[in-house]
Structure 1
Amino acid sequence: MIRRTALALALCATACAPEDLPADENSAEALRQVEQAAEPLDKPTERNAIRFLDQATFGPRLARAVSPRPIDSVEQVVAVGISKSITAQLSAARSTFDGTNDSKDLGSQFFVNAITGPDQLRQRVAFALSQIFVVSPSGIANIASTPESEPKVAMAGFLNLLSTNAFGNFRTLLEAVTKDPAMGNYLDMVNNRAFDTAGKAKEPNENYAREMLQLFTLGLHKLNEDGTPQLTAEGLPIPAYTEAQVQAFSRALSGWTFAAAAGCPTIGRTNPANYTQPMIGCDANHLSTSQTLLRGAVTTAGGGAAAHLKQALDNVFADPNLPPFISSSSSSTSSPATRAPPTF
C-alpha cells in the first residue's frame, strides 16, 4: 500500500492476461495457463497494447501520423512496452480542475481532461479513488457575499487532491481526505464538536468515523489477504469493527473546523466556511479522553485534536483489512462496466 505504483499497477493487472481463461479462474491450473500465455511487458502485441490502454487510460487511441507519438497511443505502447509506458505516465504533467468563476463547469473539465490530458493513468487512478472517497456539493452553501461559487471551489479542490495523491502513500491520502473541507461538509467531520457553547460535553457526530471505517478503509467484514471473507465456525462473516469502536473514532476525530486567519474559535463555536484550505484541529472542541480503537490500541489521554487524529488514522491504516479491501474496491471501480462519472 505504500509503493506509489501499487494502485496504478492494480488497475493495469488484467491488461496482460489472456482472454480465453478456463471457467474456474481461481484454480491453480488457470493461474498456470495465465502465466504461460501472458506476453512479456516489453514486447506487447497491438492487441495487448489496446487491452492495456483500456485498463490504464480512458480508452485506447491511435497516434496515426502525429509525431512524436502520444505516450498513451497504441503505437507508442507497442514500440516501448508496457513497463516504460507506465513509467512515462507516472511522470506526465498532471491535469487539474479550476474552481474559479471564469472556468468551465467541472463536468466539462472532467471530460476534456479524460479525452485530451496526457496523464491518463493518474486520471484513471484518481477516478477510481473518487468512487471510493465519495463527496458531493450537496449542502455546500453558495455564499452570496463572496464572488466565487463555494460548491465549485470545494469540488475542484477535492478532485485536485485525489489526482495529487494518486501515486502516493495511502496513509497520506487518507489524512488529506479526512481534513478536506468538502469531505468535512459532506460527512459532518467539520464543526464536529465535543462540547456546546456552555462547555457541556456532548457526543460527537459518528458519520465520518463510520463511513471512514466502512467505505474508505476496512469494509464491513474481516477479510483474508486474498479478499475473501473470514468466517466464524458457524460460517458467518466476522465484523471488521464494533459500534463501540465507531464511537471511539468519532471522539478521537472531534474538534475540527474550517481554517481561518484567526485560528480556532472558542469552545462550542465554529469558524465560517472556507473550502480553499484543509480543516484545522481545535483542542477546545475536542474530546481529549483516551479512546480504545482497533486491536486494543488506545489514544493518549489528554491528547489534542491533531495528535488523536494521527493516532486514529495510523491505527486504521495498520489494520490487516485495509490492503485487501482497498485493492478489491479499486479493482471493481476501475472496471469499464462499473464506471460512473463523479458527482459535481
Structure 2
Amino acid sequence: MSRTPVLAFLLALVPTLAGAQGLGGAESDAVRLLRQASFGPTEASIARVVTLGAEAWIDEQLAMPATAYPAYPYVSANRPDTCVDNRTPPITASSFCARDNYSLFQLQLRFFKDAVEGPDQLRQRVAFALSQILVTSGLDNNRNYAMRNYQQIFRDHAFGNYYDVLRAVTLSPVMGDYLDMVNNNKANPAAGTEPNENFAREVLQLFSIGTDALNADGSPIRDAAGKPYPTYDQEEIEGFAHVFTGWTYPTIAGQRPRNNNPRNYDGPMRPVDANHDFGAKVLLNGVIAPAGLPMERDLDFALGNIFAHANVGPFIGKRLIQKLVTSDPSPGYVARVTAAFDDNGTGVRGDLRAVVKAILLDPEARGARSADPSFGKLSEPILYLAATARALGGRTDGVYFRVAASTLSQNVFYAPSVFNFYPPGYVIPGTTRLGPEFGIQNTSTAINRTNIAYGLIFANAIAPDPTVFGATGTTIDLTAYRAVAADAGALADRFGRYLLAGKMSPSMRSAIVSAVNAVPATDTLNRARTAAYLVVSSPQFQVER
C-alpha cells in the first residue's frame, strides 16, 4: 500500500464512537484491561482474561515472580582504551565492548524483548510506570550494569510497598550520582561548603508529595485568597539535605573502603559516619529529626516522615493512574485510589498491590467513562510499539524497537531530565485537558509512527543485526488474519475485535474494507498487511480508551 495519501486517510479514521460496532462485553473489556495492565493484548491473553475475569487475571499476574534483567558485568567508571568495538567477523559476545558496556544498548534490547514476550506483563508495566516517576537517565550514567541494577528495583518492588521503592531508590548509587546525594558531605565551615540540596528537592517535588498540599482527590488545598499551600519550604529542604549526607558508593570488590569511595554501582550506597551531619533537622509538618541518630536510622526517620505525608497517596496515585489508564483522571477516581494507598484494607499504607488493583478495577477504568471523549490517553511511543508487536504476533530481540522508540522521542532509559520525557501536568494545546504523552507528539513523530508501522508490517521480518551477538531480529505473524483475508469485512472485523475492543467506527470499517478490496483476493498476505497497517496507524488504536 502506498504511504503517500496516509495522512488524509488517517484523518478519515478519527474515532466516532457513536455508532461503533460493539463487541461482547467480556471480550471488549479484556482488550481494554490489557491495554491498561500490560504492554498490549494478544489473542491468548484476551482469552485468559475472559476465562478468569478481570480481578482473577490481575491476581494471577500479581502472583507471578519478577522477570529479572540479566546480570551485566561490572565495568570501571572510565572506559579503558582496550574496550573498543570490533566489527571483524565472526561476531562474539565481547566484540562490541564499548557499545555493550558503556551504553544502555543491551539493557534496552532486553526491555523490549521482555515487554513483547514476557509473561509477567502487569509487573513489567507497573515497573515501567515507576521508572518514569522516579527518573534517572543514561544521559548521566551510561554503564549498562549500573542502570540494570536501578531498573531492577522497580521490577522487584512493583507490587511491594512504596516506602521500600523510595528507600531503594534513595540508596541507589545511580540515583546518588544523578541527583548528587553520593559523596554529599556535611557542611564544612572552613571550606564554605554546605550539603547539596538537589536530591532533597526532587525526592519531595517529584518522588513523593509535590509542591502543593493536596486533598485526597488530588485537587490543591487553597487558602482564603485561593492560593495553594506549599508542602515544604527552604528550611525543610535544608533539613533533608543534611539527612542525606555521608553516603558514598559501595566499595569495589577487592578494595579498601574509603570515606569517599570511587564510582561503583554494584549494590546500595554505604554510610560514612565521618561525613554525616548528626545534628537535629527540621522535616515536614514541623517534625524534628533528633540529633545523634545513627545514619541509617536518620535516613529511615526522614523517609518515614515523607512517606507519612498526606500528599503521597493522591500524588503517586494520580501519577500511576495517568501511566496505566487515563491522562486526566476525575477527582473521584483519584480519591478512591488514594484510599487504597492510605489503607490496603488491613491497615497497611503504601501497598502497591492494593493501589494497582484499585486503579485497574475502578469503575472508570472498567468502562464507566469509556464514551467520555476526555477519558483515556495517547499511547506513548514505547507502549505503542510494544502493543503493535503483541497484537500482530510479534517476536523480537529488541533491536528494531530500540531504534524506533528513539525516533519517536522516547529512547528508553534516556530521559532528557529528571522530569521524564514529558511532564505529567502537560495540557493539550487549545484545551484544559491533561495529556502528558502529547508533550512528545508532533507532526514529525506522528508521521514516524506510521512509517515505523509500515516497516514492521510490510517488511514482516526485520533481519537480525549482524553486529549483535545472538540477534534474532523482529517478526510478526499474520497467519490468523490471512485465514479470513479473502473477505474484507471479516478481516476488518477481526482487527476491530482484537485491536480496538470492538469499537471500530462504521466509517473506519468502510475505509478499511475499500482499501483491502483494492488488493487481489488471492493475495491474502498483503490484504492482511493493508488492514493491519491502517488499524495500528489509526487514532482509534493509538488512543487507549
* Same fold (TM > 0.5): yes
RMSD value, Cα: 2.2
292-301 vs 99-108, which moves further: 99-108
The number of residues matched between the two structures is 282
Q: What is residue 258 of structure 2 aligned with on the other side?
A: 265
User: Which of 176, 182, 195 is matched with 2:168 structurally?
Assistant: 176
Larger relative contact order (CA 8 Å, sep ≥ 6)? 2
CA distance in 1, matches of 2:256, 2:285: 35
Are residue 83 (structure 1) and residue 20 (structure 2) matched? no
Aligned ranges 1:92-103 → 2 under 5 Å:
92-100=64-72, 102=93
Change (3 A) 1:170 1:114: same
Identity within the alignment, %? 40
Distance between the aligned counterparts of 2:166 and 2:114, measured in 1? 24
1:256 aligns with 2:247: yes
Q: Deviations over 1:214-253 (max 9, x none)?
A: 0000011000011111011001111111111111100011
Partner residue, 2:413:
343
Distance 1:180 1:247 in 2: 21
Query: Equivalent residue for 1:244?
Result: 235
Q: Equivalents in 2 of 1:120, 1:218: separation in Å?
A: 28
Residue of structure 2 in register with 1:278 after alignment: 268
Match of 1:233 in 2: 224
Q: How far 1:334 sits from its partner (Å)?
A: 2.5
Name the residue aligned to 2:523: none
For 2:306, which of 311, 316, 334 is the aligned residue?
316
- Maintained 8 Å contact 2:72/2:148: no
1:186 is displaced (CA, Å) by 0.5
| Counterpart position of 2:323 | 333
Can you list the C-alpha shifts for 1:145-169, whole angstroms capped at 9, x where unaligned? xxxxx71111111111111000001
CA distance in structure 2 between the aligned counterparts of 1:168 and 1:244, rounded to whole angstroms: 32
Q: What aligned pairs does 1:113-124 form with structure 2 within 5 A after superposition?
A: 113-124=114-125
SS in 2 for 1:132: coil
Is the CA contact 1:253–1:305 (under 8 Å) kept in the aligned structure 2?
no
Provide the residue aligned with 2:136 in structure 1.
135
Distance of 1:315 and 1:321 partners within structure 2: 12
Quick one: structure 1 residues 205 and 338, their matched pair in 2 at CA, closer, same or farther if it must change by over 3 Å?
A: farther
* Residue 265 (structure 1) shift: 2.7
Residue type of the alignment partner of 1:265: R
- The answer (yes or no) to whether the contact 1:49–1:74 under 8 Å persists in 2 is yes
- Residues in 2 aligned to 1:94 and 1:292: alpha-carbon distance in whole angstroms: 38
Query: Residue 223 of structure 2: SS of its match in structure 1?
Result: coil
Q: What is the CA distance between 1:200 and its match in structure 2? A: 5.7
Q: Distance in 2 between matches of 1:116 and 1:158?
A: 22
Separation of aligned partners in 2, 1:80 and 1:235? 48
> Cα distance, 1:333 vs. partner?
2.4
Counterparts of residues 50-69 of structure 1 (less than 5 Å) = 50-63=31-44
Displacement of 1:302 in angstroms is 1.9
Structure 1: 4+ residue segments shifted above 4 A: 101-104, 198-201, 261-264
Distance (Å, rounded) in 2 between the aligned partners of 1:127 and 1:87 = 19
How far the C-alpha of 1:279 sits from its partner, in A, is 0.3
How far is 1:96 from its partner? 2.2
Q: What does residue 148 of structure 2 align with? A: 156
What's 1:306 paired with?
296
The residue type paired with residue 135 of structure 2 is V
Match of 1:7 in 2: none
Does the aligned pair in 1 maintain the 2:246–2:271 contact within 8 Å?
yes
What does the per-residue CA deviation read over 1:300-340, in whole Å, with 9 as the maximum and x for residues that have no partner?
21223212111100000000011000001111122452635
SS at match of 2:378: helix
Q: For the Cα contact (< 8 Å) 1:44–1:77, is it kept in 2? A: no
Once residues 83 and 303 of structure 1 are traced to their aligned partners in structure 2, the CA distance between those partners, rounded to angstroms, is 44
Aligned with 1:212 (options 198, 203, 208)? 203
Q: TM-score, normalised by structure 2?
A: 0.49
Compare 90-99 and 181-190 and name the one that shifted more: 90-99
8 Å CA contact 1:58, 1:114 repeated in 2: yes
Listed one character per residue, the Cα deviations across residues 244-293 of structure 1 (whole Å, up to 9, x for unaligned) are 11111000111100111667534xxx101111110011111011110110
- C-alpha distance in structure 1 between counterparts of 2:201 and 2:192, whole Å: 21
Report Cα offsets for 1:37-82 as digits up to 9, x if no partner. xxxxxx961001111111110111102xxxxxxxxx1011101111
TM-score in terms of structure 1 length: 0.77
Helix, strand or coil: the match of 1:45?
A: helix
C-alpha change, 1:296 and 1:195, in structure 2 (3 Å) is: closer
Cα distance in structure 1, aligned partners of 2:192 and 2:171? 23
Aligned residue in 1 for 2:157: 165
Q: Distance in 2 between matches of 1:105 and 1:243?
A: 41
Gaps of 5+ in 2: 1-16, 19-23, 74-92, 94-99, 326-376, 383-409, 415-545
In the alignment, which residue of structure 1 is the partner of 2:12? none
Q: In structure 2, which of residues 22, 26, 30 is the aligned counterpart of residue 45 of structure 1?
A: 26
